[in-house]
Every structure is written in C-alpha cells, then in structure tokens.
Structure 1
C-alpha cells in the first residue's frame, strides 16, 4: 500500500532589493526574521525560502525596497540567446493562464543595450512558454499582476518577479507629504544604524512630516511595517491566502504594547507638524510619539542618554545654502550641549561638520533617493547599567 505524501512547497531564490549603502542593515533584518542571506551585492541581499518567506519578508523588512523572486540567470549577447534563455525557465509554474505580466527592464555595460527591445523579446519568450502549457497563442492578462524585470549587467541576464507591488516604503500611514520627504525605508535604516534601544529616549528635532519618529515607534513596539498594506503576491496561486493570514496573525501577536516609549518629534514649522500629527495617528503610534512645535535651537530634553536621528534640509536649491548653513550652526550649538545624547544627522552637505562645529565620530555614505549623503554620527556615552 502506498501513502500519499503531502505536496511540498516550492523553494525560491529571493532578493531583498535595497538602496546602496543599506545592504548590511537589510542583511541583519533578514537574519532577525530567520532567513540567513546567501549572497550580498550592491543593491540587494539574496536569501531562499518558500511562499511563507515571501509573506514574512514583505511584512517585516523595514529597510528593503522590494522582495523579488529570481526566476533565472544566464548569459546573453544576442536576442536569440535572450529569447531561448527566457523561454527555458519555468514560467508556467509561476504564472496562471490569466496572469497580467508587464515587463520592465534595465541594461548596463551589456551588448544588448536597447531596453525596449529586450522587454519585447522577454515578453514574447514568456508567451511562447505559457502557450505550450495552456495551448493558446494569445493571453488576455485579466488576472493578478506578476511584474517581471529583465536586468542585464555585463551580458548576464537576471529575470525577477516582483512579489511586493508598491515599494515597501509604502507603509500605508503617510497619505500626505511635506517638501523633500525621507522614505520610510531609509528612515527605518537610520534608526537601526543609530543602535537606539526602546529604553532610551528618542528625538527628531527637525521632524518634518514625522517619518523618522514613526519608524522608531514601529521598531520599538516590534510592529511589522507592512501590516497596514497589501502586496501583489497575496493574489497569487503559489502564495495561498491562509499562509498570508498566518503571517499577519504572527505579526499581530508579536507587537509589544507593554513597552513604554519616550519619542519626541518636533519642528518649528506648524504646517509640517499638522502632517506629522496626521501621520502619527494614521500609523497608530499617537500614544507614544509626542509632536511638539519647537525650534531646534531650544532643544533641551528632560532625560539624559537619549538618541537623536534627524534629516535636516540640505540646501540643494539656489539661494538656500546660507539659510541651511545657519541652521547647521544653530543645531550644533544646541545639540552639542546634550553631552549624554548620541546624534545622527543625514545630510548631503560635505561641509556639514564645519558648520555644526564638531567632527563626527563616524561617517557613512548613503543615498536619499538619488542624492548622495553622509550619515554623520556623534556617539554619546551609553546609559549606566542598572
């Protein structure tokens, strides 16, 4: 007598894509949720797992841009090689008959430099592959979205399938934006790079629309940042609804409502503070983030051994440089006086330290969108052990 074995879940090669400079942060996040990285390159961290890994990574990753399935890699210097290499991959195991599968692309230092042509070739090859399984030549694409990217780097083709949909910075709480906002993913990375812990006070004295303070609150409460949104892979046959329900239930149960957080978001501009209050409430952290109107020059915390993480204006526009330099001087005079506090400032100004009035203990190159910046790190003493 034979015993039927339960079907096994597929194992995928997955990538958490990220902004340059944040690979180490994303790597640590993956380790924390139980998926040790198998490869790290500029712009992504690779790991493996089944459909549950897709759900958990999308829900929990704070600093990654997207979670994608690596469908295949191969060399291609001609359109024929690109076509045959694409067609040979297991597209029918991933895409149902009614799948909507737009193809985007990019090419760098490769023989096949025409991105639109590469996209057309890949699309045609996938249609041919699906046609063999479903016995048809035309697909109406009325079902769930399966966004595909063809990426060529030095003639190596990588084909990926985007599981996230909207970028992971779209948490669902920031419906309104102030000028020059910082992405939620970068804000979360800055908080983690500061090594702030929930038992210490936290402040952003130039908070704008409140993103950094909100990300600190979500981290301090151990709240998965993706709980308030959906993802493309939720509508895929290979990722069952129950699996997503289980992952969300796990994330809900992990929230630490018993943790007392001391987080302050302040700014001199009453207009942006109204946005900050709206976003704080929308994120569900109004009970642990205080939003206050205050000039950074008046920053005087009631408790020692805190942590400041802030993203001041950069002065990128003509005529703003003098104002921003004056702001940096004011910041320096105020924040240097808080001798037990650690200060982390992200800025594109290469002369920031001169106007702040002190050389940073550490400096880390990061990108805020396409703007190259430095994270200037002023490390205060750790609180004494109780």
Structure 2
C-alpha cells in the first residue's frame, strides 16, 4: 500500500488545531469536517500520527465510504469493502462503534450487527472458511453515518489518545489531555513565556504545556492496537517513529510553568502525574487559593479549567469563586487569561467580557473557551543591538 487515507477524530470546535498538527507532520489534508480531519499518507502515518498528535482522539485507517439509506444497502456496501486486504484469517474483528447524524439508518446496534454479518460473508468467500477463530490481532471497526454517507475505518489506536499514560489519578473534574493540549495551542503561549493554572487539579494543563515546551511526543509511553497488525505495519515503522520522537526531546530547557490548587491532596497527585510524564522538573506546583493568585513578572498567561458547578451544592459557591478569580486577574494587569467552562455567568462574575469566546463540546457538555487578551510584551532587541 502506498498512500492511504487516515481519519483523526477530535473535539468539536478544535478541527483547525488538529489540521495544523497534521500538516506540521508533513501529511496532506483531504477533508475537514465537524469533529474529524481526514488526511493522506503512507504506512508510516499510522505510527507517527498516533505518537505525535496531541489533539486527536484516535487514528483510523479509512477502508471505505458509500451511500446507504437501507440496511440492504449498508450490508452490500460493507461487503464490497476488500476486508481481506486488512484483516487476516485469524484476525479478531467487530464493529466497535457506530454513530449516525441526519441519516435514515440511526440504530447503532443494528448498524453494528449488519456490518459484522457483511464482513463475515466477505471474508468467508475470500478465505474459503466457514468459521473464524478470531484468535489473532484485534481489528476494531468504527463507522460514521452522515446524511446517509457511510464512512468506515479501522481503529489503529485502541484506548483513546487522550490517555497518555501519565494520569492514573485524576481530580474531581479532570479535563482530557488532548483537549487541554488543543486549548493551549489555541493561545499565543510559547515555552519561553510564563504559564499559570490556578485551578490545576491533577495538573493536566501544566503537564501538557511542559510536554509541548520540552517537545515530548504524547504517545511515546503507551501502546496502540495497530502495533499487532504485522500484516500491514512493520515493527521497523514503529521503531523509526519512536526514535524520531526521542531525538527531538529537549527536557533541559528552563520554563516558568506553575500549577496552583486549594486542595493539597490533589496537588500531590499532580506532582506524581508530572513525574510520570517526564516533566516534573519543569513545573512548580503550590497549594494556593485563587484569591492569592499573583506573580512578580509581567506578560504571563493563565490557562485554566475552573469549576463548572455541575453539582447543585457546588453551584452556590461559583459567583464568589469567579469574582475572586477576576479580581486576582485584574491585579496582573499585563497578563492574558484563557478559561474553559460551562458556567453561564462566568463573564458576569469574572468582571470582564471576553475578547473572544469559542464554543467547544467537552464530551456531551457544551462549554466556552473564554479569551481575555492582555498587552503584547515589547519586542526584544536583537542580539547585535545588545552588543553595541
């Protein structure tokens, strides 16, 4: 196989960030849709995309696309896909997930059942066997139906890419690692700038920022379903991608990344998570209330996920909490702040209307990414001017 098409799903509203990441890896964008980006690349793409992409949820190998308004059309369209090119005779295969939007076929369980039958029929005729042991590698299938167009992909990832492997212990309302990375990448923050998260919880924002700063690929310390697809992907491809990721790490940099939280127990977990991610030395964690938020330097960034008040007993505390946050931010008069929250009165109690806000779906929860821009720092004089 030369160039293939790959599908990378992501959080709704963050497709532009993922598109830029894929282009930075050197792959050509085929299509950008709500919640996913399709791109083309050789077999190396399965390894590099899984290891390097910070904002994707998984990577799918696109195996077919067709129109289906009836279950008969779904069966025939699925049966026409050359499954024998992907799944060996002993492969374990099933339709792991089906999603349908604005389509006549909408029952996930029926879609999954019919597609599995069609796959079995196709492979029975190609391998000339009546029974499949399914004792080999796993080949989970994912299918999207959008306006009666069926898109079928093999899931190369397995456990979602937001599971980096560093966060076995999470706080009360953790933000997904890939969502945190995407939000950081939406801001103008760079590794030489200050970053503070005053509601850091299990440390996701500071850890993702430190990994970006040190150029640590998010998928370096985990495994993927496609590692066992020896009929499609050689071990050499995986070794080369891991070596590439290892070669670009620079964890000897100086950073000013800080995480604060009022809960000391949660902070202990955050420190463990940072160590597991290989960035423990790049982050300063401190037990501190949001009202005590301060920093001696100018032109820093606050990027945070404050409490949403999803529980009724917590909701009554939100006005005071957001008010304290806003007051502390105003004392940092040259700083910028970015917060993701579903709290509808966030701007009101924060005391300032956001310069921009962006609707983002965090799972099924509609949230807004509020952006409060501060002044740009003065440009540094060029080295030659400093030497005069």
Q: Given the two structures, how large is their TM-score scaled by the length of structure 2?
A: 0.95
Where 1:85 maps in the other structure, the secondary structure is helix
The answer to whether the Cα contact below 8 Å between 1:122 and 1:150 also exists between their aligned partners in 2 is: no
- Residues 112 and 366 from structure 1, CA distance in 2 versus in 1: closer, same or farther, beyond 3 angstroms? closer
Q: How many residues align?
A: 378
Per-residue deviation, 1:142? 1.1
Are 2:259 and 1:256 equivalent residues in the alignment?
no
Deviation at 1:361, TM superposition (A): 1.0
Does the residue aligned with 1:31 lie in a helix, a strand or coil? Answer: helix
Contact in 1 for aligned 2:251/2:279 (Cα 8 Å): no
The structure 2 residue matched to 1:148, chosen from 125, 132, 141, is 141
1:210 to 2:189 alignment = no
Q: Which runs of 5+ in 1 are unaligned?
A: 1-8
Secondary structure, counterpart of 1:136 in structure 2: coil
Task: Please point out which of 336, 340, 344 is paired with 1:346.
Answer: 340
In structure 1, which of residues 295, 301, 304 is the aligned counterpart of residue 298 of structure 2? Answer: 304
Cα contact 2:256–2:282 (8 A) shared by 1: yes
Greater alpha carbon shift after TM alignment, 272-281 vs 71-80: 71-80
Give the whole-Å Cα distance in 1 for the aligned partners of 2:57 and 2:318: 30
Shift of 1:117: 2.2
CA distance in 2, matches of 1:80, 1:222: 49
- How do residues 317-336 of structure 1 correspond to structure 2 at under 5 angstroms? 317-336=311-330
Residue aligned with 2:378, SS = coil
Q: Distance in 2 between matches of 1:253 and 1:151?
A: 37
Which of these residues, 255, 261, 267, is aligned with residue 273 of structure 1? Answer: 267
Task: Return 5+ residue gaps in structure 2 as ranges.
Answer: 381-388
Distance in 2 between the 1:28 and 1:203 partners? 25
Partner of 1:285: 279
Structure 2 CA distance for aligned equivalents of residues 116 and 311 of structure 1: 35
* 1:305/1:380 contact within 8 Å kept: yes
Q: Which position in structure 2 is the counterpart of 1:6?
A: none
Q: 2:77 maps to what in 1?
A: 85
Runs (4+) of structure 1 moved beyond 6 Å?
Answer: none
Inter-CA distance 111–360: structure 2 relative to 1 (3 Å threshold): closer
Alignment partner of 1:186 out of 172, 179, 188: 179
1:36 Cα shift? 3.0
Q: 2-side partners of 1:258 and 1:116: how far apart?
A: 51
Contact kept in structure 2, 1:15 and 1:45, CA below 8 Å: yes
Equivalent of residue 46 in structure 1, options 19, 26, 38: 38
Q: After superposing the two structures, state which structure 1 stretch, 272-281 or 109-118, moved more.
A: 109-118
**Structure-2 separation of matches of 1:78 and 1:141:** 29
Partner of 2:371: 377
Q: TM-score, normalised by structure 1?
A: 0.95
User: Are the counterparts in 2 of residues 198 and 261 from structure 1 also a CA contact under 8 Å?
Assistant: yes
- 1:164 maps to 157
1:360 to 354, 362, 383: 354
Would you say 1:220 and 2:213 are equivalent positions? Answer: yes
Q: CA deviation at 1:184?
A: 0.3
Moved more, 127-136 or 320-329: 127-136
RMSD (Å) for aligned C-alpha atoms: 1.2
SS in 2 for 1:37: strand
Q: Please list the CA deviations of residues 61-80 of structure 1 after superposition, one character each: whole Å capped at 9, or x if unmatched.
A: 11111111111111112222
Secondary structure of the residue aligned to 1:81 is: helix
Q: Which residue of the partner structure matches residue 3 of structure 1?
A: none
Specify the SS of the correspondent of 1:320.
Answer: helix
